Chains A and B, each alone.
Chain A
Amino acid sequence: MISARSADQVFVALDHWIVGHVPAPFQTLASIVIAVAMIIVVFAALFALTTVFERKGLGRMQNRYGPNRVGPWGTFQPLADAVKSLTKEDVVPHRADHVVHYLAPLVLVGVVFLSYAVLPVGRNMIAVDLDTGVLYFFAVGAATELAVFMAGWSSHNKYSLLGAMRAIAQMISYEIPLILSSVAVIMIAGTLSTVKIVEEQARYTAGIAHWNVITPWGLAGFILFMIAATAETNRSPFDLPEGESEIIAGYFIEYSGFKFALFFLAEYIEMFAVSGLAITLFLGGWSSPVSFLAWIPSWLWFFGKLLAMIFGFIWVRGTMPRLRMDQLMNFAWKFMLPMTLIVILSAGIWRFLSPAVVGPRPLGGVIRWLVCALVIFAPYILLARKLERGHSMEKRTYRFAE
């Protein structure tokens, strides 16, 4: 019989077994190749699965069926899409910068896959356990902007350049709240290593895990992180860089066939990566929420959480319309930035309101929770009031058009 422990470590054991059969000088190389291949295969497969889930989910949210023609319940739809994008003509504009135009999708895909190196997808399942894992993740994530601008610039098309400019403006604006909201977690954990952050959260008190999301600063930080991540991955409602109604398809307007599919792939892979980081930072990584469910393998927990996050992204996409550029910028600088700073403040207060200050566990814990929640909630109300002032819905009058 397979014990819970061996089911949890089955992939690690398999990896060790394969590496053990490789001659000693190449063992390091073999271990790297296996890790890279697994990341590429698993997350590319997840991408294929997500495209069909997304289309079906969006369809259901709009009371439609979604794709249901290819295979049982339309599950072979990604195969049909792959065949379609592979057989399409690859058009490159005559005036485009051919080299950069060719490189942009490759750079983008390469860069987004790099960020998986520091994501622990299960206990002992991480490609590289860097001490500066979170920092590495954001550094690599910032490189996607380069690829986006390469695509926009090299296409020699005004819409594509506009799309790239929007993407750069948006990504830089939202990178700040993205990083600041994770600073709170780093402060409390006292480390930048993703493995240690998860281990910190995988402890249990009275059967409940120490996930950061159950603390007030963690909850607020998680929501802010997810909003920033949605903007960072150019997903609806922050999909201005590819707004079909105004700039057609943004920076990938001049891409067709498989290059377009690569952009599509990169966008989804980036979404999974940033969801994976949110899980690592706030949702306890591969740990189970309650101790009596800890027998379920850690990698199942991680991918279960990842699927839930993906559903969240699809749900938000099915709900909200696209923002306007000024709304996007106002939201980033006037709401997201102050709120993330307040979350950091709240995390600091949480750190220093230890049981020694507020008293023993049950009551002291409640007091600490309420104080930290108030530190976030009161500024939120004030900020919301300030932002909503003068934004009441009225019939608009056009002075010059009538």
Chain B
Amino acid sequence: MLGEGIIQGLVETARNFFGSYVEKDRLTTVQYPEERLPLPEASRVFPFLLYDGKDPDAGLRCVACQICEKECPPRCIHIEKSKDKKPDFVGKMQVYPAVFDIDVSVCMSCQICVEVCPFDAIRMDKVFELSTDNRFRKLLYTKKELSKPNEYYQKIHPLEAAETDERRAKEAEEAKAKAAAAEAAAKAKAAAAAATPPVGEASGNGAAAPAKLAETKGSPQ
């Protein structure tokens, strides 16, 4: 009959109207600032620098190798190397970045810097509410703003962080074992040298140090 469909439609909208006050799951809207959906594990917005321990200066993993700076497609990373060195997580002396800037107005969140970093020093962040009233200074993130602890990384990307931490722990373990072995070998050599009359006395320490360096360099990253 003429008009039947109209009545069906009116019933449907009336059901929606009253139902939306009764059944909460009818309303699919997430009221954003108050309610948030959890972000997926793989979500990423702009890179940040990781540091171990409590002190961002001492624990910063970055060794200012500048690979990320060279690989960055939009060239948003700026690094200046330091003049002095500090020990890294395996105890080796490394250069660190005196200046590390990322211009997030240029960054396109491509994650290439993360993929090329051999030191697990740069990772993608998840924060996205970064709007600011100053488009020049406040969009240029300095080393201080970029440095975030490893615990933060474990919180935002738990799976990735667990994998990285495991690998790094193993590497540190291996490095320690190798150092211990090298030390033992050096000691044995020294003992042997002490037992037998000296042929070349200076070679004892001098031979151990280059060997250790070579082993560390050869370890997989």
CA distance A64 to B31 in the complex (A): 11
With A65-B27, A65-B29, A65-B31 already in contact, the answer to whether A60 and B2 are too (CB < 8 A) is: no
A63-B1 CB under 8 A given contacts A57-B17, A319-B6, A319-B9: no
The reply on B16 being an interface residue by CB < 8 A is yes
Cβ contact within 8 Å between A381 and B20 = no
In this complex, the member of A62, A319, A380, A384 whose beta carbon has the largest number of chain B beta carbons within 10 angstroms is A319
* B84 proximal to A (CB < 8 A): no
Given contacts A381-B1, A384-B1, A387-B2, contact A64 B13 (CB under 8 A): no
Q: Which residue of A lies closest to B4 (CB)?
A: A384
Q: Nearest Cβ distance between residue A336 and chain B, in whole angstroms?
A: 12
Closest A residue, CB atoms, query B15: A61
B2 A384 Cβ-Cβ under 8 A = yes
Decide if A61 touches B17 in the complex (CB within 8 Å). Answer: yes
Question: Which parts of A310-341 form the interface with B (CB within 8 Å)?
Answer: 315-316, 318-320, 335
Q: Which of A61, A383, A387 has the most CB of B within 10 A?
A: A61
Rounded to whole angstroms, the CA-CA distance of A384 and B16 in the bound complex is: 29
Q: Is B26 among interface residues, defined by CB-CB distance under 8 A? A: yes
- Which residues of B are found within 8 Å of A316, using beta-carbon distances? 10
0/1 interface trace, chain B 8-25, chain A, CB 8 Å (1 if under)? 011011101101110000
Q: Please report the C-alpha to C-alpha distance between residue A2 and residue B9 in the assembled complex, in whole angstroms.
A: 46
Question: Which residues of chain A are near B27, meaning CB under 8 Å?
Answer: 63-65
- B19 to A: closest C-beta gap in Å: 8
Per the bound structure, the CA–CA distance linking A65 and B29 in Å amounts to 7
**Contact A315–B21 (Cβ < 8 Å):** no
Interface of B is mostly: helix
Q: How far is the CB of A326 from chain B (nearest CB, A)?
A: 17
Of all chain A residues, the one with the shortest Cβ separation from B23 is A63
A374-400 near B? 1/0 per residue, CB < 8 Å: 000000110110011000000000000
* Chain A stretch 222-262: residues in CB contact (< 8 A) with chain B: none
Nearest Cβ on chain A to B81's Cβ, whole angstroms: 50
Q: B221 an interface residue at 8 Å Cβ cutoff?
A: no
Chain A residues 245 to 297 lying within 8 A of chain B, measured CB to CB, are none
**Given A65-B29, A387-B2, residue A319 in contact with residue B10 (CB < 8 A):** yes
Contact indicator B20/A315 (Cβ below 8 Å): no
Could you give, for residues 49-91 of chain A, a 1 whenever the CB lies within 8 Å of some chain B CB and a 0 otherwise? 0000000010011111100000000000000000000000000
Q: Are B20 and A63 in contact (CB under 8 A)?
A: yes
Residue of A nearest to B21 (CB): A60
Q: Which size class do B's interface residues fall under?
A: 10 to 19
On chain B, the residues within 8 Å of A319 by CB distance are 6, 9-10, 12-13
* Chain A interface, DSSP helix/strand/loop, else mixed: helix
Which chain B positions have C-beta within 8 A of A381? 1
Tell whether B28 is near chain A: CB-to-CB under 8 Å.
Answer: yes
Nearest-neighbour CB distance to chain A for B13, whole angstroms, equals: 4
8 Å CB contact of A60 from B3, B12, B20, B28: B20
User: Do A315 and B13 contact each other (CB < 8 Å), given the known contacts A60-B21, A65-B29?
Assistant: yes
Bound together, the chains give a CA A63 to CA B26 distance in angstroms of: 6
Cα–Cα distance between A24 and B93 once the two chains are bound (Å): 103
Contacts of B9 in A (CB 8 A): 319-320
- Chain B: minimal CB distance from A66 (Å): 10
CB-defined contacts of A384 to chain B, threshold 8 Å: 1-3
Q: Is the beta-carbon distance between A60 and B17 smaller than 8 angstroms?
A: yes
Given the complex, which residues of A lie within 8 Å of B13, measured CB to CB?
61, 315, 318-319
A63 to B24, CA, bound (A): 10
* A64-B2 in contact (CB<8A): no
Taking the closest CB of chain B, its distance from the CB of A204, in whole angstroms, is 31
Q: Given A63-B20, A65-B31, does the pair A388, B2 have CB atoms closer than 8 Å? A: yes
- Between-chain CB contacts (< 8 Å), 30 pairs: A57-B17, A60-B16, A60-B21, A61-B13, A61-B17, A62-B16, A63-B16, A63-B20, A63-B26, A63-B27, A63-B28, A64-B20, A64-B27, A65-B29, A315-B13, A315-B14, A315-B17, A318-B17, A319-B6, A319-B9, A319-B10, A319-B12, A320-B6, A320-B9, A335-B2, A381-B1, A384-B1, A384-B2, A384-B3, A388-B2
Query: Which chain A residues have a beta carbon within 8 Å of chain B's beta carbons?
Result: 57, 60-65, 315-316, 318-320, 335, 380-381, 383-384, 387-388
| Nearest 7 pairs of A and B residues by beta carbon | A384-B2, A61-B13, A319-B9, A319-B13, A60-B20, A60-B17, A63-B26
Chain B residues close to A by CB (< 8 Å): 1-3, 6, 9-10, 12-14, 16-17, 19-21, 26-29, 31
Task: Add 18 more A-B contacts to A319-B6, A384-B1 (CB < 8 A).
Answer: A60-B16, A61-B13, A63-B16, A63-B19, A63-B28, A65-B31, A315-B10, A315-B13, A315-B14, A319-B9, A319-B10, A319-B13, A335-B2, A381-B1, A383-B2, A384-B2, A387-B2, A388-B2
